[in-house]
Structure 1
């Protein structure tokens, strides 16, 4: 597995690792499938997490490896949630919606509490992360975003955008240049996907309003 962390090529003076490139390209495909509301978004996300877990584990980056374990667990949850077909649109894909006020507060509260808890753990055990606060922020933000995606919430795109704002400089600073470049592409996909889900949520809500009793 040592080849995973070997250098593939150099791009703009940055050394690109095979693991960084392969895992993140697959993750990018998973996000694109999520934009299309495809069930395959989840197994592809799981594969991305598996590759990155192997890469980080062999590089002795326990915190980053642990993040991928959680990502894979949430991917399994998302697969089961979307596969159940509880919330399907007319085209057979998962229906999307905006979160309720209570759900938004719960997401924000979970993100804040989770970041404090994980950052505290990383601070107590420095071997888990060299950048405890931004690493914790990205770790928890990723989990919150994936959970919101599994529930079909438009807010999942906002969560991803907030993760990207910290993820780009952090990845460049830690030598995972390809992750940094991919996060920039993530940003463009997030804005595109956010618009698509936003419009779809309005189309989903309109028939419900029209069918409501006067």
Structure 2
């Protein structure tokens, strides 16, 4: 309990900006999860869930009375979404594991989503952003609200795509990072913004690794 209380309140300072250790640790869990995803390991999902739980409390700054009182409702909401979809992805990946595979073997086989699914993903990203923007604005999210909505929708689709083993999910993360970096810097979440810069390079690497992993030509309709 003492450790949890310390983790909830502990901060350090960069310049004159207080930073929560929860934000740092949550993002480190996120990096570990992304690395596990690139290596196609099922443990990436529970590791990511831990980071999501920590970051949920960070992005509801006004609710939890943190040093940064800014609420990013899209960022906070996507942590809840991550947890739900990650449970689904964890189950799916464990089912895909070859019964004779050892601990060091690849857990899943990547596949291309196909043209039809790609079009649906793009339209869903754009339509979802348009639909969520007025909702997030009414709830008091940080401006520009469309960026928060874009990040939420992109994160939802990317996580779903990862659960479905679509190689293209890495490119959705790139689109999320391009918007997320300036938004988070503007809102004062410097650590998360810096992590997004790293994620941007990492997701491009992940796309190349998965694309070279001999994915199926087109994903079956499941």
- The TM tier, using the shorter chain, reads 0.7 to 0.9
1:1-214 → structure 2 map (5 Å cutoff): 4=8, 7-10=11-14, 15-57=18-60, 59-60=62-63, 61=71, 63=73, 64-85=75-96, 91-123=105-137, 125-202=138-215
Mark the runs of 5 or more structure 2 residues left unpaired by the alignment: 64-70, 218-222
CA distance in 2, matches of 1:31, 1:105: 25
CA distance in 2, matches of 1:66, 1:192: 27
Q: Post-superposition shift, 1:85?
A: 1.5
**Secondary structure, in 3 states, of the residue corresponding to 1:59?**
helix
Q: Post-superposition shift, 1:2?
A: 8.7
Contact 2:46–2:86 (CA<8 Å) still a contact in 1? yes
Q: Post-superposition shift, 1:5?
A: 6.2
CA distance in 1, matches of 2:113, 2:166: 6
1:71-91 CA-partner distances (Å, limit 9, x unpaired)? 111111111111122789x84
Between the two proteins, the alignment pairs up a number of residues equal to 202
Structure whose residues are more often helix by fraction? 1
1:24-82 CA-partner distances (Å, limit 9, x unpaired)? 11111111110010101110111111111123335332613222111111111111111
CA distance in 2, matches of 1:165, 1:155: 16
Q: Post-superposition shift, 1:133?
A: 0.3
Contact 1:9–1:15 (CA<8 Å) still a contact in 2? yes
**Secondary structure, in 3 states, of the residue corresponding to 1:97?**
coil
CA distance in 1, matches of 2:181, 2:77: 20
Q: TM-score, normalised by structure 1?
A: 0.84
CA distance in 1, matches of 2:84, 2:98: 21
Q: Post-superposition shift, 1:130?
A: 3.6
Moved more, 126-135 or 150-159: 126-135
Q: Structure 1 192/54 Cα, relative in aligned 2: closer, same or farther at 3 Å?
A: same
**Secondary structure, in 3 states, of the residue corresponding to 2:212?**
helix
Mark the runs of 5 or more structure 1 residues left unpaired by the alignment: 206-214
CA distance in 1, matches of 2:6, 2:37: 31
Contact 2:41–2:106 (CA<8 Å) still a contact in 1? no
Q: Structure 1 7/146 Cα, relative in aligned 2: closer, same or farther at 3 Å?
A: same
Q: Post-superposition shift, 1:111?
A: 1.1
